[in-house]
A and B are shown apart, each in its own frame.
Chain A
């Protein structure tokens, strides 16, 4: 039995009310599905005096096509559940990798509760943090992210290297999504690629008094193939141990067409998803060309250096990042 600490609960019904509550109650935490925050509270990782539930904020739950200055986009409300996101016809049509990622999060039960806003703002995790307080005391009283002063992953380290285990974050970055935040100063828009910071203790640029209201994902301007590769020990419930989002823009709607642009983003390394760089050699090659797979997999292997912040040995995970990248491209080519 894991008890929650004491807190009050507010049930606002509009975004404005949420922002006012956040502004007037420093330290208050937003709870949507609760599948990330509540286990952390039960593990005594924090003790907010107030939880602001989004259960009654209906305006967060829409998915709609909008036109922006740079072209059409899909706006996805932060309160859309992961089940809804994975089953939504518009999302499946335009962003199959996002639907796939949302559909692989944890278990059906958790996807029925958890929201895309919550998945984007998932707290960073570490094998030495997400444990009971009793467990943490047994290893000497916690670490930088809990009660302690040390890091058990990087001995002597002063920066928390807890990992962002969100399945959707790398995908949203690969799709050039934007995050819309509402706060006391009004609304602001942050590119998903600039939303995260390499600091396990404070890993997003969201201010305490801000709430993520929606995501804006631009529709593809041409033919595209995208995928999400994930490895877990069990096929359900687990957080990813390998997480790679892939997106290839093509000259024509054919896997034998030349790749005109690509974006590969890896998760579960540190607090910030890694956008794989130096992929210029892949441009101009056919998606079905084995040389393209080799270039991408080699770049992933070179640049993605896992730590032992989540289960499994880091060298094995590093190999698997490349293996799952190759498999994802092979699946895209096989699907045509």
Chain B
């Protein structure tokens, strides 16, 4: 029943105020991150974000509000954008986790740069950059779901859980629409992308 977690009560820690001891359980987690298996030991109460950042050094996903308001920690689980700060790492086992670090390895990436990242660069869609990894993960899920050129309204809706305090969103929306056009144009007119 523990599914890879050691039996509770592995290590006892005294709770403040001398009440009942609580169980401090170190869990052995088997995760799959950006297509690679990762086996890692971490406290059972850690979030996926904490395991990514403080065990696996994947610090692209940002720790912003840490309670689900800002979206800076957005990763994809089984293709859906979700908040790593509110996901228990133990519950993310056996799921397919994608972080911003994996974007450069996506099939549509060119020389380690995803068309979305390229568009963000060209449109100056990142200012301080703190929200960018989360926005990229929400946007990538949108492009995949739509499978064609996206509308500004679709982008606004898809990014409604990702706060940006610098840009006012205009350049971000421009960049996501542009990236979808680039992706779609390449698919529709492959002869133009080969060059002469």
Identify the A interface with B (CB < 8 A).
Answer: 1-2, 4-13, 17, 31, 33-35, 38-39, 42-43, 47, 49-51, 53, 55-56, 83, 106-110, 112-113, 235-237
Q: How far is A83 from B1 in the complex, measured between Cα atoms in Å?
A: 29
Complex contact A34–B86 (CB within 8 A):
yes
Across the interface, B47 reaches (CB within 8 A) one of A35, A38, A50, A113, namely A38
Nearest CB in chain A to that of B63: its residue: A1
* B104 contact set on A, CB distance < 8 A: none
CB within 8 A of B43: which of A6, A49, A56?
A: A6
CB nearest neighbor in B for A236: B160
Query: For B66, what are the chain A residues with a Cβ–Cβ distance below 8 Å?
Result: 1-2, 42
Residues on B with beta carbons closer than 8 Å to the beta carbon of A236: 160-161
**Interface status of B3 (Cβ within 8 A of chain A):** yes
Segment from B67-75, B115-123, B171-179, B183-191 that makes contact with A? B67-75
How many residues does chain B have at the interface if contact means C-beta atoms less than 8 Å apart? 45
Contacts of B162 in A (CB 8 A): 107, 109
Find A11's partner among B3, B8, B82 (CB 8 Å cutoff): B3
A9 in contact with B68 (CB, 8 Å): no
Q: Decide if B46 touches A55 in the complex (CB within 8 Å).
A: no
Contact B67 A109, beta carbon cutoff 8 Å: no
Those of B58-93 within 8 Å (CB) of chain A:
63, 66-69, 71, 74, 80-83, 85-88, 90-93
Can you list 21 pairs linking A and B with CB atoms under 8 Å apart? Answer: A6-B22, A6-B23, A8-B5, A8-B8, A13-B3, A33-B86, A35-B83, A38-B86, A39-B68, A49-B20, A50-B23, A53-B88, A53-B90, A55-B88, A106-B161, A107-B161, A108-B157, A109-B138, A112-B81, A235-B160, A236-B160
5 closest Cβ contacts across the A-B interface? A107-B161, A236-B160, A109-B161, A55-B91, A39-B67
Q: Does A31 contact B69, Cβ atoms closer than 8 Å? A: no
- A9 and B86 in contact (CB under 8 A), knowing A2-B66, A236-B161? no
**Interface: B144 (CB within 8 A):** no
Would you give the shortest CB distance from A10 to chain B, in whole angstroms?
7
Closest B residue, CB atoms, query A31: B88
Q: Smallest distance from the beta carbon of A41 to chain B beta carbons, Å?
A: 9
B24 contacts partner chain A, Cβ-Cβ < 8 Å:
yes
User: Does B158 have its Cβ within 8 Å of any Cβ on chain A?
Assistant: yes
Q: Does B143 contact A (CB under 8 A)?
A: no
Chain A residues whose CB sits within 8 angstroms of the CB of B47 once the complex forms: 4, 38
Check if B24 sits within 8 Å of A6, measured CB to CB: yes
Determine whether B25 belongs to the interface, using a CB cutoff of 8 Å to chain A: yes
Any chain A CB within 8 A of the CB of B2?
A: yes
Contacting residues, chain B, for A42 (C-beta < 8 A): 66-67
Chain B positions within 8 Å of A110 at CB level? 68, 83, 161
Contact indicator A113/B45 (Cβ below 8 Å): no
How many Å lie between the Cα of A112 and that of B160 in the bound state?
Answer: 13
- How long is the Cα–Cα vector from A56 to B66 in the complex, in angstroms? 24
Check A4 against B45 for contact (C-beta < 8 Å). yes
Q: What residues on B are CB-neighbors of A7 within 8 Å? A: 22-23, 25, 44-45
Bound CA span A13–B3, Å:
9
| Given known A9-B88, A113-B83, contact A237–B160 (CB-CB < 8 A) | yes
Nearest residue (CB) in B for A83 is: B80
Q: Is the CB of A11 within 8 A of B90?
A: yes
Question: Is B13 at the interface (CB under 8 A from chain A)?
Answer: yes
Q: In this assembly, does B27 line the interface, its C-beta being within 8 Å of a C-beta of chain A?
A: yes
> Which residues of B sit under 8 angstroms from A13, Cβ to Cβ?
3
A56 vs B1: C-alpha distance when bound (angstroms): 11
Find out whether the CB atom of B45 lies under 8 angstroms from the CB atom of A9: yes
A9 to B5, CA, bound (A): 8
B81, A49: Cβ atoms closer than 8 Å: no
Interface hits, B4-23 → A, CB 8 Å:
5, 8, 13, 15, 20, 22-23
Q: How far is the CB of B64 from chain A (nearest CB, A)?
A: 10
Q: Which residue from chain A places its CB closest to the CB of B9 in the assembled complex? A: A8
- Complex formed: what's the CA distance from A9 to B88 in Å? 9
- Find chain A residues with CB under 8 A from B23 CB: 6-8, 49-50
Assess whether B160 is in contact with A9, with CB atoms less than 8 Å apart.
no
Q: How far is the CA of A290 from the CA of B88 in the complex (A)?
A: 51
B1 and A12 within 8 A (CB)? yes
Assembly CA distance A28 to B147 (angstroms): 43
Considering only residues 87-104 of chain B, those with a C-beta below 8 Å from chain A are: 87-88, 90-94
Nearest A residue to B83 via CB reads A109
Give the interface centre of A4, A6, A8, A10 by most chain B CB atoms within 10 Å.
Answer: A8
Point out the residue from A5, A47, A108 that lies within 8 Å of B138, measured CB to CB.
A108
Which one of A35, A55, A106 has the greatest number of beta carbons of chain B within 10 Å?
Answer: A55
